[in-house]
Copies of this chain bind each other. A is one copy, B any other.
């Protein structure tokens, strides 16, 4: 029996490289350099968001990417990467969702602390849970944050709970992270209340506005932030809020604004971060694929993931 079925025999693509693995086959975990975890939670967003659809959108978009980075002449397929699937979310109880997310990070850190975890959100509320989960397993590590964002994410939790406007404050108030260990790059314009800037300053949070970053150059700004962090913390958690993109480049990031980062700036920043020896995890959040145009933002998001892994490979070569 032999009709010819459709099989793609062309160049290897990302979806053929990343291996979906079953949570129950834990024995294999040791073999992976990095693990990818979907976190499809966005009902915790202040504004209505379908960022929950993003992990699946990423997986579908993987087909558009090879594993080979031409700019760096480097093939990601030399890494073994597992797709752990999605954290299960509850429909009407966000605290259960947050607990599941924290548990997922704990499981990753317990079963295989050597794989680099990459989390695909979902909204920014997940970052607080992921870092808490990390710290549950590594309570003695001092962890810093490198954040690319249009916003401080320092809103008061007493109003509306652990939403996507609060993750950094959540971590500061719970003493999980010190203010001086947070570096936020790319903030700009009219998208943060003055009170949040005051809070940031009082908490010692570090930030570089987009205008400053463009003047200095992204390479230098990210480099300086990493150097300062590396000098004081044990590990750096890297979080990319896709709304840091300029609105002309990020239609699928509903909170993207005029004056933000351009695509080449973002990719450059991310690769540098990936190459830092102390960066121990990263997430990509606040990308709503249902609002995207021509898949521009989803594909840019996937490229962020791959540029980060490019840096990660370069790190190993250093």
Please state the number of chain copies in the assembly.
Answer: 6
Count chain A residues whose beta carbon lies closer than 8 angstroms to a beta carbon of B: 106
Fill in one digit per residue for A1-30: 1 if any B CB lies within 8 Å of its CB, else 0. 111111101111010000000011010000
Cβ of A102 to closest chain B Cβ, rounded Å: 9
Fill in one digit per residue for A94-122: 1 if any B CB lies within 8 Å of its CB, else 0. 11000010011011101100000000000
Fill in one digit per residue for A39-57: 1 if any B CB lies within 8 Å of its CB, else 0. 0101111101110110000
Please, how many angstroms separate the alpha-carbon atoms of A303 and B187 in the complex?
A: 15
Q: Which 7 A-B pairs have the closest CB atoms?
A: A11-B193, A92-B161, A251-B294, A91-B160, A6-B86, A43-B43, A48-B50
Which residues of chain B are near A86, meaning CB under 8 Å? 5-6
Query: Is A258 located at the chain interface by the 8 A CB criterion?
Result: yes
Cβ of A126 to closest chain B Cβ, rounded Å: 12
Please, how many angstroms separate the alpha-carbon atoms of A250 and B295 in the complex?
A: 11
Do the beta carbons of A259 and B248 come within 8 Å of each other?
Answer: no
Question: 20 more A-B contacts (CB under 8 A) besides A4-B88, A248-B248?
Answer: A3-B23, A4-B87, A4-B103, A4-B104, A6-B38, A6-B40, A6-B85, A10-B159, A48-B52, A68-B193, A69-B190, A71-B210, A76-B190, A247-B296, A248-B249, A252-B294, A257-B303, A259-B263, A259-B267, A291-B294
Do the beta carbons of A12 and B193 come within 8 Å of each other?
Answer: yes
- Choose from B76, B296, B306 the contact partner of A248 (Cβ within 8 Å): B296
Please, how many angstroms separate the alpha-carbon atoms of A250 and B300 in the complex?
A: 13
Query: Is A239 located at the chain interface by the 8 A CB criterion?
Result: no
Fill in one digit per residue for A242-274: 1 if any B CB lies within 8 Å of its CB, else 0. 000011111110001111001110010000000
Given contact pairs A23-B1, A69-B190, A259-B264, A91 touches B44 in the complex (Cβ within 8 A): yes
